[in-house]
């Protein structure tokens, strides 16, 4: 399967210290084959491999990973991107009853998914109603009725042969019975045809669903793209439920659908039990496809380290740009926590000498804080405001001389200058860290 194929490719790279362009080309060729064999749409494969290769060749790497691990990371990133990047949750609008309509080919798993959705909604304290609009197979409404009975959810099946009428009556039934979400199960056909599309469009027009979910059988293979595109064009839909993920699907459908239709996968269904409908998480799916627990957790910690570096850089940049007197007080407190100035100074080269000469005034910090405490909030944040009359006021308030206040402001300005010198290039380096 796809996971095994990919793992084989990566373990081939692992032994190598440096990856040459040929190594990467070979690996990409194999990835391409593996994806095609997993039934991923060929256009999707083409652009996927092109992007991944480009990134690998550009040696966009994290230092803490080996070259092979970096390739795995890039492939994982791109797989996540392909699968949709953001998590897709079921979002209900404020309209009551909310209407969710399911569409898809016959046998794709709509009726099963309808019951699973109802079960999930019930768990979330909603009171759903299932509406059976598949009027072509007598067994279809019975099937929904049975499933609804198992989970204790009301089913509306109406009578007669008009699915549009049943759908609108179903919504009225929800109102009458205080149900807040209506799930409309529609009839599919074995293949895309106009009759099915016309019917889906008519139900959509009549019920104005808050969302339409297309149910896709994960085992459909290459054809998934054609079917989804046809539905996207005719009835349009908001997201996909990928069913039968528990089968031996090759994964191609899941990997193609977002790219081809622009619609996210919202749920995956993997079994016949009502609780086997999971929210879809692209990153988890990508990891599942890669199937390499150790390497993936290694990559995650490398990414975390890189993120921490970026965060630190941001803090430094902030300090450089906006150091004010409040920061000055914070810094003083920090110094005190570390054991005071004497301890810090004696740790510096030549520090002992300074200590011996009595150049360290431990009380200076307290002094400083008293002065800053006499300043207004605005003055602390914008020391430039401190003109002569303000300085005189502060000196009087703190019980010190104006010269003490001047001294403090001078120290502050020196510190600010020093910090600027210590981090001259932080800004320019911003976008380049962690890359070579
Ligand atoms: P519909 O024609 O679109 O309504 O499809 P159904 O909901 O009737 O499902 C068709 C068949 O697939 C039934 O036998 C279901 O039990 C089965 N099925 C649906 N979803 C899943 C799933 O997630 N896993 C498995 N293993 N079988 C499923
Ligand atoms: Mg059905």
> Given 3.90.850.10, 3.10.100.10, 2.40.110.10, 1.10.260.30, which CATH number is that of 323-427?
1.10.260.30
269 CB within 6 A, ligand 1:
yes
Whether ligand 1 lies within 6 angstroms of the CB of 244 is answered as: yes
- Top pLDDT among 12 and 112 is at 112
Enumerate residues with CB within 5 Å of ligand 2 (an ion).
Answer: 110-111, 140
Residue 321 has pLDDT above 60, yes or no: no
Domain topology for 98-282: Rossmann fold (3.40.50)
Q: pLDDT value at position 21?
A: 84
Cα–Cα distance measured from residue 372 to residue 411, given in angstroms and rounded to the nearest whole number: 13
Considering only residues 301 and 326, tell me which one the structure prediction assigns the higher pLDDT.
326
| 3-state secondary structure string across 115-156 | HHHHHHHHHCCCCEEEEECCCCCHHHHHHHHHHHHHHCCEEE
pLDDT tops 50 at residue 428:
no
What is the number of the ligand 1 atom nearest to the C-alpha of 271?
24
Per-residue burial over 127-139, b if 16 or more Cβ lie within 10 Å, else e, is: bbbbbbbbbeeee
82 Cα: distance to centroid of ligand 1 (angstroms) = 26
> Which atom in ligand 1 lies closest to the alpha carbon of residue 247?
26
Check if 106 has its Cβ closer than 6 Å to any atom of ligand 1: yes
Average pLDDT over residues 54-81: 79
pLDDT value at position 57?
Answer: 82
Is 323-427 in the same CATH topology as 98-282? no
Q: Choose among 138, 174, 146, 170: nearest CA to 157.
A: 170
More confidently predicted of 2 and 404: 404
CB 426 within 8 Å of CB 320: yes
In short, whether 139's Cβ falls inside 6 Å of ligand 1 is no
pLDDT digits (tens, 9 = 90+) for 211-222: 999 999 988 877
**What is the pLDDT averaged over residues 68-87?**
83
Distance, CA 228 to ligand 2 centroid (Å)? 18
Residue 69 Cβ < 6 Å to ligand 1: no
Mean pLDDT confidence for 224-228: 87
Nearest CA to ligand 1 atom 9: 109
pTM check: above 0.90: no
At residue 297, the pLDDT reads 67
Verify whether ligand 1 is closer than 6 Å to residue 219 (CB atom): no
What number is the ipTM of this complex?
A: 0.99
Is 407 near ligand 1, meaning CB less than 6 Å away?
A: no
| Structural class in CATH, domain 2-83+295-300 | mainly alpha
**Once rounded to an integer, what is the mean pLDDT over residues 116-137?**
94
Probe residue for ligand 1, chosen from 112, 131, 146, 220 as the CB with the greatest number of ligand atoms within 8 Å: 112
Report the mean per-residue pLDDT for the chain: 83
**Which pLDDT score is estimated for 434?**
40
Interval 227-261: pLDDT, tens: 999 999 999 999 999 999 887 666 778 888 888 88
d(CA 108, CA 242) in angstroms, rounded, equals 9
**How far does the centroid of ligand 1 lie from the alpha carbon of residue 272, in Å?**
7
For residue 186, say whether it is annotated as part of any ligand binding site: yes
Tell me the per-residue pLDDT of 338-395, one tens digit each, with 9 for 90 and over: 777 777 677 776 666 666 666 666 677 778 888 998 998 889 888 889 999 999 999 9
Domain ranges for the chain, please list them: 2-83+295-300, 98-282, 323-427
Q: Which two tokens stand for residue 116?
A: 């699973």
């Amino acid at each position: 399967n796809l996971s095994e194929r990919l793992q084989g490719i990566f373990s081939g790279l692992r032994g190598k210290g440096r990856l040459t362009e040929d190594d990467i080309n070979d690996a990409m060729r194999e990835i391409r084959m593996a994806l095609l064999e997993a039934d991923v749409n060929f256009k999707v494969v083409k652009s996927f491999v092109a992007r991944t290769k480009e990134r690998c060749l550009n040696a966009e790497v994290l230092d803490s990973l080996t070259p092979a691990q970096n390739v795995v990371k890039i492939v994982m990133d791109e797989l996540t991107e392909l699968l949709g990047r953001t998590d897709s949750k079921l979002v209900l609008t404020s309209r009551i009853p909310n209407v969710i309509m399911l569409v898809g080919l016959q046998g794709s798993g709509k009726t099963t998914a309808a019951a699973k959705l109802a079960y999930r909604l019930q768990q979330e304290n909603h009171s759903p109603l299932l509406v059976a609009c598949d009027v072509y197979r007598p067994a279809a409404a019975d099937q929904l009725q049975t499933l609804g009975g198992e989970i204790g959810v009301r089913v509306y099946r109406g009578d007669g042969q008009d699915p549009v009428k049943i759908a609108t009556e179903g919504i009225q039934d929800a109102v009458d019975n205080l149900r807040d979400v209506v799930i409309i199960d529609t009839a599919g056909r074995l293949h895309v045809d106009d009759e099915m599309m016309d019917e889906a469009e008519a139900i959509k027009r009549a019920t104005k669903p808050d969302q339409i979910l297309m149910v896709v059988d994960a085992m459909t293979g290459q054809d998934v793209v054609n079917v989804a595109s046809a539905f996207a064009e005719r009835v349009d839909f908001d997201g996909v439920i990928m069913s039968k993920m528990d089968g031996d699907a090759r994964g191609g459908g899941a990997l193609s659908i977002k790219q081809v239709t622009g619609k996210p996968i919202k749920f995956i269904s993997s079994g016949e039990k009502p609780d086997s409908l999971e929210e879809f998480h692209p990153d988890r799916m990508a990891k599942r496809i890669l199937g390499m627990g150790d390497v993936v957790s290694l990559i995650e910690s490398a990414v975390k380290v890189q993120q921490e570096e970026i965060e630190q850089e941001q803090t430094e940049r902030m300090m450089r740009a906006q150091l004010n007197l409040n920061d000055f007080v914070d810094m003083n407190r920090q110094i005190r926590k570390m054991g005071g100035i004497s301890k810090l100074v004696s740790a510096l080269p030549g520090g002992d000498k300074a200590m011996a000469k009595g150049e360290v005034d431990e009380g200076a910090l307290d002094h400083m804080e008293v002065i800053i405490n006499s300043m207004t909030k605005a003055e602390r944040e914008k020391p430039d405001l401190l003109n002569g009359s303000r300085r005189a006021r502060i000196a009087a308030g703190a019980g010190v001389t104006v010269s003490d206040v001047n001294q403090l402001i001078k120290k502050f300005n020196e510190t600010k200058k020093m910090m600027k010198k210590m981090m001259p290039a932080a800004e320019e380096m911003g976008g380049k860290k962690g890359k070579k």
